Amino acid sequence: MTGENGGESNGHTGRLAPIIPLFGGKASRPEPSVDDASRSQTPTESAAERAESVVPRRTGDSGLWRSTWDGPVDSVPHAESGAERLPSDRHPAHGKTSQTAPPRLTVLPPTEIDRSEDIDDGLDQDTERQIATDALVRKLRSRSLSVSEARTVLRGHAISAQQVDDVLDECSRRGYLDDARLAAQLVESGSQRKGQGRVALSRALAQRGLPRDVVDAALDELPDDDAERALDFARTKARSLSKLDGDTALRRLVGQLSRRGYNGAIAMNAAKVALAEASFGGRSIGVRFVDSD
């Protein structure tokens, strides 16, 4: 639309639209028209109207925010309360205070907490008992265990002491655990295959957690033949020591016999006999007495 002077008009006041710089420069002010001059001379004109006449109100989010900086001091509205001084929704700083808060945990009443714990504990205890029982059975399949060793296995799981006793009683009733049978097996294997004496056997059984009365009962069944078993063991070692001098060979063989639980006298006698036999290339010939008819 063209005005009377040949220029473009905005349809109401005849002013040209203000030029807004893109890089923060100072906005160009349009030349005041006759209507603006008459309004600026009115004594009853408000401060907001005067500010608008100096810096035109801009449109858009950034324009509304920056209009408070471009306008005069009198045109900046003052907040009446502390809550109104917070940045508005359109202010860039508003995002720091308007972030969504994390969900709050709901505190259950004490009665509900206790009830839920009782239910969970009941389920967990049954599950843990089954897991502990399965672990014990797997160990028993690979080797025999004493009651004390089985108790140690069960204590490694989160079950109560009463449940440990119940599982041990059940395994004993089924024949999975038997201290007397285990002690007899250890005495037999130690004396025959390892050549151990009573002292070594007693120490080995005690290390397996067997009670003292069970150990004594198993050793009582062992024949009193420590001297013969010591000699049998010494004979197996004497040939490998025959290249050493007499004192060194005797000292080493006595030490080996002592570590297997034979006392000093039995170990010394068996070592001397075995070394003598190895030196002469065979067993010594002893005198044998028989009853005459």
Q: What is the pLDDT of residues 194-218, one digit of tens each?
A: 878 888 899 999 999 999 999 999 9
Q: What is the pLDDT of residues 50-98, one digit of tens each?
A: 555 555 555 554 444 554 555 554 544 554 444 445 555 555 555 554 4
Beta bridge partners of 8: 2
In single-letter form, the type of residue at position 100 comes to T
The overall average pLDDT reported for the chain is 71
CA distances from 127 to 51, 122, 134, 173, 184 (A): 79, 9, 11, 22, 36
What crossing angle do the helices spanning 147-155 and 110-142 adopt, rounded to 10°?
A: 140
Q: What is the pLDDT of residues 122-134, one digit of tens each?
A: 557 788 889 999 9
* Structure confidence at residue 227 (pLDDT): 84
How does residue 153 score in pLDDT terms, banded at 50, 70 and 90? very high
* Structure confidence at residue 99 (pLDDT): 52
* Structure confidence at residue 113 (pLDDT): 41
- Cβ atoms of residues 70 and 55 within 8 Å: yes
The enclosing H or E element of 201 equals helix 198-207
**Which residues have CB under 8 Å from 188's CB, separation 6+?**
none
Alpha carbons 33 and 53: distance in angstroms, whole number: 11
Q: What does the pLDDT average to over 158-162?
A: 90
% of the chain at pLDDT higher than 70 = 53
Q: What does the pLDDT average to over 12-27?
A: 61
Q: Report the residue count for the chain.
A: 293
* Structure confidence at residue 7 (pLDDT): 46
Beta bridge partners of 2: 8
274-277, Cβ contacts within 8 angstroms, sequence gap of 24 or more: 274/231, 274/234, 274/235, 274/237, 274/238, 275/234, 275/238, 275/241, 275/242, 275/246, 275/249, 275/250, 277/235, 277/238
In single-letter form, the type of residue at position 26 comes to K
- Cβ atoms of residues 203 and 243 within 8 Å: no
* Structure confidence at residue 127 (pLDDT): 87
Q: What is the pLDDT of residues 218-265, one digit of tens each?
A: 988 887 777 888 888 888 888 888 788 888 888 999 998 888 888 888
* Structure confidence at residue 18 (pLDDT): 67
pTM of the predicted protein model:
0.47
